[in-house]
Amino acid sequence: METIYGYAGKIARINLTDSTVTDVPITNYVPKYVGGRSVANRIFWEEVGPEVKAFDPENKLIYMTGPTTATGIPSGGRTVFTGLSPKTLPEQYTWSGMGGWFGSELKFAGYDGLIIEGKAKEPTYIYIEDGKVQFLSAEKLWGQYVHETQEMLEEIHGKDVKSIVIGPAGENLVRFASITTANDNAAAKAGFGAVMGSKNLKAVTVRGRGKIVPADIPKVLELRKTMNNPPMRLNPILNLEGVEAGANVNFKVPGGVKQAQVACCYGCNQHCDRMFLDVKSGTSRKKKNRVEKCVGIFAMDFTENCGWMPNQTFQTEQNHSAPCKTLSGDMEPPDMTDPYAKDLFNWRPADTVNFWKGNYDKGNVMMDLCNQYGIDKWEVTVGLFPWFSMGQKEGVFEGMDFGMPIDVESEEFVRYILDMLVYRKGKYGDILAEGMARAVRILGKEKYGDTIYHGRYSNVIPGKQLDIPICMETAWGEIFHWQGRGYQAAIDITGWLPCSLQLMVSSRDTQTVAHFHSTWDYYLAVKDDPYHNRLVPQAVIECETREDIKDSFTSCEWQAPDHYWPTMECEMFEAATGYPMTLEEMEEMAIRSRLTFRAILIRNYGRDREMEVNAVYPGLTYPDSVGLTADWDDWNDLVDLYYEERGWDKKTGWPTREQYEKYGIKEIADELEAAGKLPG
Amino acid sequence: MEKIQEEYGKISEKYCNHIVQYPPEVSLCAGCTSCEAVCAMVHDGAVSPSLSRIQLERGTVSMIHTIHACMQCRDHPCYSACPKKDKAMCIDEKLGIAYVNQEECVGCRLCVKACPFEPKRIRMNLDKPRPKAIKCDMCRTRPNGPACVEYCQVRCIGKSEDPVPVDDRGRTQGLF
């Protein structure tokens, strides 16, 4: 048999309604779409129409690896889920990335991905062993926490299996339920845990004894040493006096803190995750080890928001470093001979928000419960509990009985609220399980969402009060992220404006796989008038193209892109598959994937210019860290420039037939035209 | 730390130079599985946990992982058990360790049975038409030595007769 390099060769279509499995050749999609999110986009476009709702059996949960997964190429362990999300507002097609070791094990078992469709009659889990798929009863697993479920599956099938599981939140259709794998890696942002729950699917467990053959092993080994200059340093468990996570979360802990770094996915050459050892558990276990990247740190202390240093966003050839190194502390020391170094490393302080004070045990319990219930930490840490904190201070909850006095400083209150919403207990449990965006609409958005919190203060202009609504909602039901308001608000307008554009054309928060990055030259060119400079949409499009590349090939947000090594993913792809790919070809594939995604949003969910400019703009009327707000006309001028740069129709925001045909997907244009969704 | 340093870097009476996992005080395994990936690549030209001579036992929830590799027994019970010794299971005279010549291996599994450790440090390569034994050979023909050690990004594994590595780089705290 001819060796297939990089790929396993097929996708398993798993129908839970009739317990059937069909093999779908990966070549149905490759090479037009190379893997990961791009293939998933195409599958969803072909198979799920506009009439389907998130919890319908007809919704499909698509899981894809990429050609670099399980090849030993660093960051190839990243994988992606897509499907119709119950979390986004309104329900829209979206994606959710996940690291871990499940994707590589799936490839060793013979599959590049899964199409999970239908609905099982009873609680079920899927066991895949070397190409054989079984549907097994999840009766004993249903109701179990995430960690207990993982351990029970290992007891049943052996220590070497890898699993994706949901917790009670997914079973109870909590709209921000996550899917979790090893190391608490989770696909959390899209609520796909609840989609699994709606299908009566508790877990997928896999064991693979097969192999994946990279085409060019010397090149793979070379990439292991060259991709982001791996630190190759010891990783001792540090005994610290407290939490020391940069300038904003920094407090002493009685008894100290044990901390080390761990990797997040198969074969990575970095270790971006921060692990806290022997911390307080949220459940009956005595002690736990737990990992965090960024937002979970704020569960421990949310007195200040997150500050910003321009080099997190803007780079020069002399000073650029992978984001994973900013988390692990492995960043190379600044090169101060760089004429821009002083500005690049000029820390912009975070806003004071005073949500809650430092409490190591309470923060660990909050995050462990998120892990165990299987819910999105982001929604809990940046959405739910800040809402309680701000709303209580502004008096909006007076007369409401949650069953316990509101006290966000209290571990008991955290436990009580999370238990209430995960199990949908009582009126408020049921409402909060819908997620912040839907909950405040059920309660009454004007009061419970838009009431202004008067306790946010700038530290760039000391003492300046900055209004923010108690529900820090931006577009698509998401919470602000790198948008100058809400979480990571300290970024300046040259950063938050493009982040907002990225969000506008997406269906969920993009600053997880597409953190806005550009060069310092960009910053200098646009800083005086970012609304009317084409470099802004050009830089956004570059980031979006890179986003599709990362989620398709696959590579990792925390390692890529390297602005000064643009062909890195081309080299990864060729090492994995043996097929040379130019930068132009790679970008063409990414834009094809992007157009397919946009076509889904347009056909299925009525996406157009009016919908998206209005989704993002209201949030930009609140002040950033120096008090700047966006003007409606300026915002629309920028949107005009974006659509022009994309070659899309400015009036509707729809791509033209020429765009679809240019990227080889005429059939999509034909279908959109039949649906009246091509610009006239 | 001094006690730990005393435990390593010595010549053992029972075992030849072999791959060791250092205690977490020296370096905690990050769980990346790079050791398994590069091992299978340099030996078999593919990536597969089943082809790796080094095994990472994953702590899915605890995130504390254990590395298993051949202890390279000086009395070579695997070699003694081999019905085709010196053809299939051979001794590297320079290193003193047993290694498998897969072309001659008949797949009888007697070497696996003879391995005194659990999990067994010799496994069967089921990727071949006929199963073949595989075991760590310390990358005996690689100029750079064991690939798993070379590519371990946290240097949590090393050769038993080498001194415990020291943190020569240091680090600062992460941003958030």
Closest Cα of chain A to B174: distance in Å? 4
Kind of pairing between the strands at A10-15 and A113-117:
parallel
List, in order, residues 6 or more apart from A20 with CB less than 8 Å away: A14
Predicted pLDDT of residue A1: 56
Q: How many helices (H) and strands (E) does chain B have?
A: 5, 8
B24, A245: Cβ pair inside 8 Å?
A: no
Q: Report the amino acid identity of residue A439.
A: A
- pLDDT averaged per 10 residues, chain A (length 680): 88 98 98 97 98 98 98 97 98 97 98 98 98 98 98 97 98 98 95 98 98 98 94 91 88 95 93 93 93 91 94 93 80 91 94 97 98 97 98 97 97 98 98 98 98 97 96 97 92 97 97 93 98 98 96 91 90 97 97 98 98 98 97 98 98 98 98 96
Residue A279 pairs in a beta bridge with A288
Of A150, A220, A270, the CB nearest to B41: A220
Q: How much is the CA Rg of chain A, to the nearest whole Å?
A: 23
Torsion, CA A643, CA A649, CA A654, CA A655, rounded to 10: -80
Question: Cα(B17)–Cα(B136) distance, rounded to whole angstroms?
Answer: 11
- Rounded to the nearest 10 degrees, what angle do helices A568-577 and A217-226 cross at? 150
Q: Cα separations (Å) of B57 from A107, A164, B33? A: 19, 18, 10
Q: How many helices (H) and strands (E) does chain A have?
A: 24, 22
What is the number of residues in chain B? 176
Predicted pLDDT of residue A562: 83
List, in order, residues 6 or more apart from A517 with CB less than 8 Å away: A313, A314, A315, A543, A561, A563
Predicted pLDDT of residue B169: 61
Beta strands in A263-308 (DSSP E): 273-280, 287-292, 302-304
Q: Cα separations (Å) of B148 from A214, B36, B90, B92, B127? A: 18, 7, 22, 19, 21
Map residue A83 onto helix, strand or coil: strand
Angle at A187 between CA A104 and CA A229, to 5 degrees: 60
A182, B26: Cβ pair inside 8 Å?
A: no
Closest Cα of chain A to B75: distance in Å? 30
A235, B154: Cβ pair inside 8 Å?
A: yes
Closest Cα of chain A to B163: distance in Å? 14
CB B70 within 8 A of CB B53: yes
Q: Where are the domains of chain A?
A: 10-207, 492-674
CATH assignment of A492-674, among 1.10.599.10, 1.10.10.1100, 3.40.50.150, 1.10.1040.10 = 1.10.599.10
Of A163, A267, A271, the CB nearest to B33: A267
Q: Report the top-level CATH class of A10-207.
A: alpha beta
Torsion, CA A526, CA A527, CA A529, CA A532, rounded to 10: 20
Interface test with A, best of B63, B149, B150, B169 (most A CBs within 10 A): B63
Q: How many CB pairs under 8 A join A and B?
A: 174
Show residues of chain B in contact with A267, CB under 8 Å. Answer: 32-34, 37, 47
Of B27, B33, B60, the CB nearest to A235: B27
Query: What element of type H or E holds A269?
Result: none
A327, B175: Cβ pair inside 8 Å?
A: yes
Query: What element of type H or E holds A390?
Result: helix A385-393
Task: Kindly identify which residue of chain B lies nearest to residue A330, measuring between CA atoms.
Answer: B171
Average pLDDT, chain B: 94
Of B45, B48, B175, the CB nearest to A326: B175
Show residues of chain A in contact with B155, CB under 8 Å. Answer: 232-235
Show residues of chain A in contact with B40, CB under 8 Å. Answer: 211
A217, B41: Cβ pair inside 8 Å?
A: yes
List, in order, residues 6 or more apart from A461 with CB less than 8 Å away: A626, A627
CB A456 within 8 A of CB A470: no
- Rounded to the nearest 10 degrees, what angle do helices A632-646 and A609-620 cross at? 140
B167, A244: Cβ pair inside 8 Å?
A: no
Question: Cα(A259)–Cα(A275) distance, rounded to whole angstroms?
Answer: 6
Show residues of chain B in contact with A160, CB under 8 Å. Answer: 49
* Nearest by Cα to A169 from A154, A156, A180: A180
Show residues of chain A in contact with B175, CB under 8 Å. Answer: 245-246, 309, 312, 326-327
Interface test with B, best of A233, A274, A344 (most B CBs within 10 A): A233
Question: Cα(A29)–Cα(A416) distance, rounded to whole angstroms?
Answer: 47
Q: Answer whether CATH 3.40.50.261 is correct for domain B12-159.
A: no
- What pLDDT, in 10s, does the model give residues B116-131? 999 999 999 988 889 9
Q: Where are the domains of chain B?
A: 12-159
B50, A232: Cβ pair inside 8 Å?
A: no
* Nearest by Cα to A618 from A536, A504, A527: A504
Question: The tokens of A323 are what?
Answer: 């984001």
Show residues of chain B in contact with A182, CB under 8 Å. Answer: 31, 58, 60
CB A45 within 8 A of CB A54: no
A159, B58: Cβ pair inside 8 Å?
A: yes
Which residue stretches of chain B have pLDDT < 50? none
Predicted pLDDT of residue B174: 60
Return the exposure string of A311-328: e unless at least 16 CB atoms fall within 10 Å of the residue's CB, then b. bbbbbbebbbbbbbbbbb
List, in order, residues 6 or more apart from A277 with CB less than 8 Å away: A237, A258, A259, A260, A289
Closest Cα of chain B to A640: distance in Å? 36
Of B30, B38, B49, the CB nearest to A108: B49
* Nearest by Cα to A487 from A291, A299, A639, A330: A299
B174, A160: Cβ pair inside 8 Å?
A: no
Interface test with B, best of A235, A248, A262 (most B CBs within 10 A): A235
The interface predicted TM-score (ipTM) is: 0.96
Question: Cα(A507)–Cα(B95) distance, rounded to whole angstroms?
Answer: 59
Question: Cα(B83)–Cα(B85) distance, rounded to whole angstroms?
Answer: 6
Query: What element of type H or E holds B40?
Result: helix B34-44
